[in-house]
Amino acid sequence: MCERNYPRNKDRGFTLLELVVVITLLGVMSVVLFSRINAVGASRVQASRDDVIAALFFAQQLAMSRSNIQVSVSAGAIDVRENGVSVKLDSGFYPLDMPTGISLISTSPTHSYDKLGRTSPGSIQVQTADGVYSASVNIEASGYAH
């Protein structure tokens, strides 16, 4: 049999198929990565919105067992107070600071709850610093927050 000796070339490149597969994989990975990065802002807003609703619900429940409960809203925190003093929790004290880049905008800086858990109606807007993502918390006169 006759053998052919092909010269071994050390400067061999990639085949077209290999290049297409690598570029396709990089494209898919970048789409997945960038979609997750953008979702981080939305999930931080939703988590902060849930924290605000939990604080309002806690204040309502506390007002029905005690008296003179207020919720104070500032740009970067929400505070539950009894007679002007921040309420102590098992895990620490209020005020609850919002994560970096999340701000609160309220129609009223203070919501006072009565013995029946009622308060003045209003809303609190939770948003990222750039305003791209936002969520709204509505407070009914009955004290219900959603």
Domain boundaries, the chain: 16-139
For the chain, 146 residues long, give each residue's pLDDT as a single digit of tens: 566 666 666 667 788 899 999 999 999 988 887 776 666 788 899 999 999 999 999 999 999 998 889 999 999 999 999 998 999 877 778 899 999 999 999 999 999 999 999 999 999 999 998 888 999 999 999 999 99
Q: Which residues contact 61 (CB under 8 A, 6 or more apart)?
A: 117
E-assigned strand segments in the chain: 69-73, 77-82, 85-86, 88-89, 92-93, 96-97, 102-106, 110-113, 122-128, 134-139
CA distances from 133 to 20, 48, 138 (A): 36, 12, 17
CATH match of 16-139 with 3.40.50.11750: no
